[in-house]
Structure 1
Amino acid sequence: MCFLVTLDLCRLSVKGFSLSSIGFGFPSLKTLSLQLIKLNGIQDFMLLLAGSLILEDLRLSDIYIHSEE
């Protein structure tokens, strides 16, 4: 079995769906690097972190969170 331990995302824009609607997690993820990321709301970012139970290293750069208030 293979497990995702490191994830490096750059220039990703999440449109048209919410991460909460697909219910995923990264239970083996230890390193997460996000650069130039656009999300629909803060809950998507929080769910991404909550689904990464053993995360040790988090690197963020230019994260944009769209909020309709």
Structure 2
Amino acid sequence: MAMIWLEAVLPLGIIASMLCVMGNAQYFIHKAANGRPKHIGNDVWDVAMERRDKKIVEMLSSPSPCN
């Protein structure tokens, strides 16, 4: 009777492991789709800076019209 709590360990272990599996699946699916890990806490400023950086990189990598 002293180890009655042992009955709850297996279901709790299954639940905890499935939560870990789901979290890792989200991480790897997002990384595979976007090529980088998800940025946690993205706000309007971060989105604007990502657009600016993307525009600068595209501008610098495009062939110059002067050549």
Bigger strand share: 1
Normalising by the residue count of structure 2, what TM-score does the alignment of the two structures yield?
A: 0.25
Normalising by the residue count of structure 1, what TM-score does the alignment of the two structures yield?
A: 0.25
- Structure of higher RCO (CA pairs closer than 8 Å, 6+ residues apart): 1
Bigger helix share: 2
Larger radius of gyration: 2
